[in-house]
Structures are given as C-alpha cells and as structure tokens.
Amino acid sequence: MLPFTLKRVYSVRSLFATILAISASTSALPAIANSLKDVSVSPKSTNFLSTIATGNIQNPASSQFARRSLDLAKQIPIDVIGLVVVDLNADSWNALGKSQTTDPISALDKLLTFFGQFPEISIAKDIQPWLGKEMAIAFSANTEDKLELTFTALSPVADGQKFELFLNKLKSLDLPKPTETLYQNVKILEWQLEEESIGDKKPVLSQKKPAITLKSLLSNKQDNAPDTDDQEEDADSEEEPILPSVPDFSLKRFAIAKLPSGVAVISTNRQAIQKMIDTSIETSELRLTPLADHPLFLRSLNNPLWNRSLIAGYGDFKGLGQISELVAADLPETSEIPGFSRAEYIEGLKYTLGQYSSFDLFTWVTPKGIRSQSNSYFSEGRSPLPKDTETRDRLLSYLPSNLYGAITSRNLNRQWQWFVEESKMQPSYKIFVEGLRMITPLIVGSGLDLDIEKDIISWMDGEYAVVVFPSDHSPFKEIGVDLTIGALIRTSNPEAANATLAKLAKFFTGFTEMDENILQLKKRQVGTTLLTSFEFPDNRVAGKTQSIFAYGWRDRQTLMLTLGANTASAFIPIPKPALAESEMFRDAIADMPQPNFGYFYLNANAIAKQVATLGFLLFAPNSDIPPSQDKSSQPVLPAEIQKAIDRLGGAVFVYSETRDRFQSDFFLGLNP
C-alpha cells in the first residue's frame, strides 16, 4: 500500500489535470460562438496584448508573475501540450484573505491533512521551506517508445539545504529503493512504484472491449426465453465483462531532480526530466528549443491578465490532439450513438484542430471577488462580425432578482441552425442534433403532430431567458420544495408561436374530454396577462385544481411560460427589484465583455444555503426535522458554515467572440 504522501502527489496531479481539462473543454465551446453573427467586435478587446520586454505589465502585488513564469518556461521543451502556473507568493493571495494573510501552501496542506489522518510528509514543513514563489505543472505526451501522458511540476529552489533534507526524508519512506541516474552531470532519483507490463504500448488507457451497444441491451431485455446456445454465449460474455475504456491515471513511478538553473523538477517520467535538462543547459549540443520561444505561448504570456493572475495556463490544440488520439484508439469502429464512432471522432478532431491554434486560462482576484477568463485562439483571423443594432438584455428587467439561477441568450433558431450545419463537419455535434430529433417523438408521443424544429425552434428568433427561482406558489411546495421554473421568449412571429400553442392545447383537451379527473385546461388572469393553465385535481381540497404549467403573452412579442399559473406573479407586472437592478447581479456582470452571447448566472449564496441546509437535514445528528413552510423549524447551520456562505455572492459565465478568439469569462462574487 502506498504511503499517503504518494496519494497526495496523485491528488495534486489530478487537480491540475482537471484544471487543464476544464480549460480545454471551455475552449471547445465555440459551438454557439460562430452561430451568432450579430455580435460586433469590441475595439478595446482587439488591442489587448502588450509586451513584457517593454515593461508594460503593472501589478506590484504579483511580483512580476509573468517574468517568473517566463523563467520556468525556459526550462520546459517547446513540444509540451500545456502548462498551468500557480503564483505561490503570499502577497498575491492577501486580497482573498481580507483581514488575515492567505497562504496557498498552508491552505493546501490543511486540506490534504483533513483527508489523510497521519501524512508522512507535510507540505508546510517539508516542501514549503525550499519552494520558490511560483510552481508550474507541465503536461506532455511521450510517444517515443509508448503512448503516455506525463505530468511534471517545476519550482525554483529557494533553499538548497532544505531541499536536500526533503530528498533525504523521501528516501527514508517505506518506498522501493530509488534508482539514481546521472544525466549531463545532473542527478535524477526515480522511484518505480508499479511493475510495468512488457510491450504495453498504451498504459494511459485501459485495454477493455468497447461498450455493449444499445441494440444488444434492448434485445437482451426483450428476450425472456433465450435459447441454450444463447445462454452459453451469455455465460462466456459474463466471464469477460465488456466495459468502456477509461483513462488510467494511477501513479506508477516518479522522478526528482534539480536542474542546473536551480529549479526543482518532479515528474511521472524520467525522460521528461532529461528533456528539461537538455532544454535548460544553453551551452549543450543537445539543447532543445524552450517553450519560452514559442510565439503562441508568448502571446498568452504577454496578455496583461497573466501578470494579474494567481493561476495562469496555456495549451496547444495540436498537442491536446495527441491525448484525443489515445482516446480514439479505444473507440468502436461503429456506434449507434451519433458521432461516437472512431472515424467520426477523428474527423471531428481534425476539424477542430484546424480551426484553433492555442488556448489560455487566467484566474485573478478583484475587490469584488474572483475572476477567470479563457481564450481559444483561431488559427486564422476572421472577418469582423456585423454590428448589432438591436436592443439587448431587455429581458433582464422582466426577471425577478430573487432567484437561484438564470440563462439568458438570443436567437435560439440561429444557434440551432449553426449546430445543424456544424454537425456536417463536426460529427461529435450529431449527438445534439440527431439526439433531439430522435427523442422528440418519445416525449410528445404519436398522437401529437409536432415538429420541434419547425413548430418551436423556428420562431424563437429573439431574446430568451430561463429562470429557476423560489416561490411560495411552487407546485412542489407540498413536498417542501419552493423551487419553480419560468421562461420568457421574445419572437418576431407570435402567430407561429400561437399556432404551436394551439396544437398543444388541442392535444391535451382530448384528455379533458375523456376524464376531467385527469387534466383540465383553464384560463387564469394574473395582472393584465391572460394565462392558459394546465391543471390537475387537488387531492387536498375536493373540487379544486392545481396548476402545473401555464403560458401567456406578457406583451405582444414576449411569451411567458411558468410551472404553475400562480408563479407568473413573479414576472407580472414588473418585478421589484428586477434582476437588472440587483447589486449582486450588476457586480457579477460589471467587468464582462460587451457584446456577448448572454449570461449563465447563479446566486451562489442562495444555492449554498439550500445545499448546506439539505446536507444538515440528511447527515447531521438528530436531523429528523422535515422541511417545512415554517422557517423556524428549519435547522440552524453552524456558525463557521454560515459565515462562509455569507461571503458568497453571485456567479456568472459569459461567452463572447472577437476576430481572433472565442472567449469565456467567469466571476464569483465574494463579500467582505
């Protein structure tokens, strides 16, 4: 059994692998970006870059984080997939702590100690004393003799003597004896933790058979009396269970060295350290080109946001493709799921790699909270998008401020048409297009003549908003849930929308004619808005009904949909205060790029309270108090948890596009 210290190394490595995956997946979101051709280029955003050499980077608290990152990049070969750099300078993190000093290393040590009872190596005591003010995590793919994903951490050694003490303590642990290698006069210590199988060419991915198909699953369920031969075949298949391939990130080995430049390196592959030695020794005949000379990396490093960041990252789409090709090797030749066959996956991968060159990620602190931005750069500059002259964000003034979350955007019809066209070149998008077409008949049934593309999506050409909010009129109130959902949709073709609504009403009227105890359609008046309400008998009060869904026109071009007719009062006549007037929402979107493709907004404070209360009810001792409308019966959260929740504000995700990049932004508000 490995000591907990190795589990720590694995945990930290998985953390940064997750960061890279998030950045990569965010960068792959140009799905909606190209569809909306009504967004103009912001002149400010096109002039975003500046050069480090000219000294234009200004942030004294960061202690020149970009310059320090560049020093680490000089030790890293140019062919890495990407890297994440963390500023460990305590002064840079003080803005998070407000009244107290925030130390990221100590915080990480406390977190790991919380999950492990008696760790053999303390990050705070054994690592922090020699660690420099920055640390980089580099990701690379070793393809020389086998396919493998390699993780390498680098940091300047601030105290050489304490670094040697750390190595000595590491040698004293109950681990296999390390192998010592001398490469270009640099000593490398390597610990082999697992025996590697000979001839294994794909250690990163498990060697499992493709997943069983949907058709075979259905046929097995329908076959109640299988033949004897079938039973024998089934028995054989049970001996070797067919499971999907999954990435294997177990830590098989690790190596440590100190480069001639004074930078400590720990890696999952000794060859990766050797390449860094070749890169860092400028006088060596074997010297490799460093990442610091890569123009795409320098573009990201020269972004002023890098120097403001606590965490900054860079990735190469072509390098990222190496990982994707590993996944493709285990995909089935054919698949009943649209876009998931090997050929379709590779086709989509090549298309994506041809569209984008690199991506980066920045996370920094503002007086109001935490900001993050990710950019995916186009391989070639694109034509300026036409200027948008239509009114934007009108629906924000119609939405209630007391909510859990909201999604706002515009022109769903155009977004859908882009998906349809893009799926012809990007097969992985077929799961969205063909999946919707396949599932629609299952939802609406055969008795309803409704084409979701022609009868619904086609007239959704204006702004739209979907809101999740608390309401005393929620249809789920009787089970202790105050959550409900509402939507506002603007359209230039209300006649088409009414035709679709008439189809729905006619279809459900058939149930009413058969039995009024099943479903009733009623007209409800909320303010000046007339609603069509779908209602079921209320089992609590004889003769009464309860509305579960309602629709009506808020104005001539704005359709309103709600779960329950009574919840429509949150939108009518005009919410006081509206979401657009909420200080929490305004803080969240204040620094966001304009124009953009809409907002995905979350009330982190309200959501955290609900989650904490539910967790307390489920897991805390003596938590047999059921949720109730009586707020006094709700559990009281511990002061520490309540204090942490009170610091949370609003969170928002925003996507936008300029001539050279697709951009995603995030903000989380933090109260003093």
pLDDT, tens digit, 9 for 90 and up, residues 403-435: 999 999 999 999 999 989 988 888 878 888 888
Does residue 529 contact residue 551 with C-beta atoms inside 8 Å? Answer: no
Structure token digits, residue 644: 């942490």
pLDDT averaged over every residue in the chain: 78
Taking the CA atoms of 218, 220, 226 and 227 in sequence, report the sign of the dihedral they define: positive
What pLDDT, on the 0 to 100 scale, is given for residue 529?
Answer: 93
Q: Is 60 exceeded by the pLDDT of residue 60?
A: no
Looking at the fold, whether 477 and 598 belong to one and the same domain comes out as no
User: For 105-149, what is each residue's pLDDT tens digit?
Assistant: 776 766 666 555 446 778 888 899 999 999 999 999 865 555 678
Looking at the fold, whether 129 and 17 belong to one and the same domain comes out as yes
The residue ranking higher by pLDDT, 453 or 235, is 453
What pLDDT, on the 0 to 100 scale, is given for residue 554?
Answer: 94
Closest CA to 125 of 114, 109, 136: 109
With 0-12 / 13-18 / 19 or more C-beta atoms within 10 angstroms meaning exposed / middle / buried, residue 587 is buried
Count of helices and strands (H, E) across the chain = 20, 20
Split at pLDDT 50, 70, 90, the class of 51 is: very low
Looking at the fold, whether 565 and 589 belong to one and the same domain comes out as no
Q: Do the domain assignments include residue 226?
A: no
Structure token digits, residue 210: 């493709």
Looking at the fold, whether 504 and 562 belong to one and the same domain comes out as yes
The Cα–Cα gap between 632 and 635 comes to 8
Q: Do the domain assignments include residue 605?
A: yes
The residue ranking higher by pLDDT, 305 or 574, is 305
Question: Between the CA of residue 225 and those of 19, 219, 230, 237, 578, what are the distances in Å?
Answer: 50, 12, 10, 18, 61
Q: Average pLDDT of 383-391?
A: 68
Structure token digits, residue 536: 């079921």
Taking the CA atoms of 376, 588, 567 and 532 in sequence, report the sign of the dihedral they define: negative
Q: Do the domain assignments include residue 464?
A: yes
Does residue 150 contact residue 140 with C-beta atoms inside 8 Å? Answer: yes
Looking at the fold, whether 671 and 568 belong to one and the same domain comes out as no
Structure token digits, residue 428: 């992985």
CA angle 245, 26, 91 (to 5 degrees): 115
Looking at the fold, whether 561 and 595 belong to one and the same domain comes out as no
Does residue 300 contact residue 373 with C-beta atoms inside 8 Å? Answer: no
Choose one of 575, 591, 612: the last residue of a domain. 575
What pLDDT, on the 0 to 100 scale, is given for residue 49?
Answer: 33
What pLDDT, on the 0 to 100 scale, is given for residue 599?
Answer: 96
Q: Which residue has the tokens 């702590």?
A: 97
Looking at the fold, whether 95 and 193 belong to one and the same domain comes out as yes
Q: Is 80 exceeded by the pLDDT of residue 167?
A: yes
Choose one of 456, 473, 508: the last residue of a domain. 456
The pTM score is 0.78
Q: Do the domain assignments include residue 218?
A: no
The answer for residues whose C-beta is within 8 angstroms of residue 118's C-beta and 6 or more apart is 4
Q: Is 90 exceeded by the pLDDT of residue 264?
A: yes
Q: Average pLDDT of 592-613?
A: 92
The residue ranking higher by pLDDT, 574 or 391, is 574
Looking at the fold, whether 274 and 351 belong to one and the same domain comes out as yes
Q: Average pLDDT of 647-657?
A: 95
Split at pLDDT 50, 70, 90, the class of 495 is: very high
The Cα–Cα gap between 270 and 258 comes to 13
Region of poorest pLDDT, from 34-38, 242-246, 561-565:
34-38
The Cα–Cα gap between 655 and 216 comes to 40
Task: Report helix, strand or coil for 156.
Answer: strand
Residue 242 identity (one-letter amino acid): I
Choose one of 532, 560, 575: the last residue of a domain. 575
Q: Pick left, alpha or beta for residue 355 (phi over 0 → left; psi -120 to 50 → alpha; otherwise beta).
A: alpha
Q: Average pLDDT of 337-343?
A: 77
Q: Is 90 exceeded by the pLDDT of residue 358?
A: yes
Region of poorest pLDDT, from 81-95, 215-229, 252-266, 391-405:
215-229
DSSP one-letter string for 421-489: HHTTT-GGGHHHHHHHHHHHHHHH-TTS---IIIIIGGG--SEEEEEEEE-TT-TTGGGT--EEEEEEE
Q: Do the domain assignments include residue 613?
A: yes
Give me the half-sphere count of Cα atoms (radius 13 Å) on the Cβ side of residue 47: 2
Q: Is 80 exceeded by the pLDDT of residue 62?
A: no
Looking at the fold, whether 443 and 475 belong to one and the same domain comes out as no
Q: Do the domain assignments include residue 372?
A: no
Closest CA to 134 of 181, 43, 66, 61: 66
Q: Say if residue 475 is preceded by a cis peptide, omega within 30 of 0.
A: no
Strands (E), 240-288: 253-258, 263-267
Does residue 281 contact residue 260 with C-beta atoms inside 8 Å? Answer: yes
The residue ranking higher by pLDDT, 380 or 220, is 380
The residue ranking higher by pLDDT, 651 or 540, is 651
H or E segment to which residue 593 belongs? none
Structure token digits, residue 385: 């998008």
What pLDDT, on the 0 to 100 scale, is given for residue 17?
Answer: 35
Structure token digits, residue 341: 């066959």
Region of poorest pLDDT, from 48-57, 87-96, 479-488:
48-57
The answer for residues whose C-beta is within 8 angstroms of residue 433's C-beta and 6 or more apart is 338, 419, 420, 423
Q: Do the domain assignments include residue 378?
A: no
Distance of alpha carbon 223 from the chain centroid: 41
Q: CA torsion, points 336, 337, 338, 341, in degrees to nearest 10?
A: -80
Looking at the fold, whether 466 and 557 belong to one and the same domain comes out as yes
Split at pLDDT 50, 70, 90, the class of 515 is: low
Structure token digits, residue 134: 């920055």
**Other CB atoms within 10 Å distance of the CB of residue 321:** 18
Domain count, the chain: 4
Split at pLDDT 50, 70, 90, the class of 39 is: very low
User: For 267-303, what is each residue's pLDDT tens digit?
Assistant: 999 999 999 999 998 877 888 999 999 999 999 999 9
The answer for residues whose C-beta is within 8 angstroms of residue 294's C-beta and 6 or more apart is 78
Which domain does 323 fall in, by range?
4-26+48-202+247-366
190-194, 542-546, 547-551: which is most confident: 547-551
Task: Report helix, strand or coil for 97.
Answer: helix
Looking at the fold, whether 443 and 515 belong to one and the same domain comes out as no
Q: Do the domain assignments include residue 291?
A: yes
The residue ranking higher by pLDDT, 244 or 316, is 316
Looking at the fold, whether 421 and 467 belong to one and the same domain comes out as no
Residue 535 identity (one-letter amino acid): E
